[in-house]
Amino acid sequence: MGDLPRLTAAETAARLGVKPESLYAYVSRGLLTRERDAAGSSFDPLEVEAFARRRRRSPSAVPGSSAPGTPLMVLDTKLAHIDDDELHYRERSAEQLARDSSFEEVVIWLWDVPSLRIPAPSDLAVARRTIDALGEAAAPLDRLLVAVTALAATDPLRDDPDPSQLVRVGARLVTGLPAALAGTLEPAGVAETLWHALAARDRPGGSRLIDAALVLVIDHDLAVSTLAARVAGSARASGYAVVTAALGAFDAPLHGTASRAAAHLLRAVRDGEAPTTAISRAVRDGGRGIPGFGQPLYAGGDMRAAVLLDMLRQAPDSADVLAAVDAVAAEVGRRAGALPNLDLALAALTLWADMSDDAGAVIFAIGRIAGWISHAVDEYDERPMRLRPRGRYVGPAPE
178: in domain: yes
- Do 166 and 220 belong to one domain? yes
CA 24, 26, 29, 31 torsion-angle sign: negative
pLDDT at 61 over 50: no
Of all helices (H) and strands (E), which one includes residue 192?
helix 190-198
- The H or E element containing residue 80 is strand 80-83
Judge if 20 and 142 occupy the same domain: no
- Clarify whether residues 129 and 241 are in a common domain: yes
Closest CA to 261 of 253, 269, 271, 270: 253
Tell whether 89 and 212 lie within a shared domain: yes
Q: What is the pTM of this model?
A: 0.86
Query: Does 32 reside within a domain?
Result: yes
Helices assigned H by DSSP within 290-358: 303-313, 319-336, 342-352
Clarify whether residues 132 and 89 are in a common domain: yes
pLDDT at 70: 56
What would the pLDDT profile of 204-229 be if each residue is shown by its tens digit?
Answer: 999 999 999 999 999 999 999 999 99
107 shares its domain with 139: yes
CA 253-345-74 angle, to 5 degrees, is: 55
Q: Are 24 and 43 in contact (CB under 8 A)?
A: no
Report the CATH number at residue 15.
1.10.1660.10
Are 292 and 308 within 8 A, CB to CB? Answer: no
Tell whether 169 and 196 lie within a shared domain.
Answer: yes
Q: Is there a single domain that holds both residue 111 and residue 228? A: yes
pLDDT digits (tens, 9 = 90+) for 72-127: 678 899 999 999 899 999 999 999 999 999 999 999 999 999 999 999 999 999 99
- Domain extent, residue 41, equals 7-61
- Same domain? For 128 and 194 the reply is yes
Q: Quote the Cα angle for 226-66-251, to 5°.
A: 25
Q: Check whether residue 238 and residue 170 sit in a common domain.
A: yes
Residues 29 and 150 grouped into a single domain: no
Domain of 91, CATH number, reads 1.10.580.10
Q: Are 275 and 269 in contact (CB under 8 A)?
A: yes
Interacting residues of 335 by C-beta distance below 8 A, sequence separation 6+: 46, 47, 49, 50, 276
* 105/204 same-domain check: yes
- Count of domains forming the chain: 2
Is the Cβ–Cβ distance between 32 and 42 less than 8 Å? no
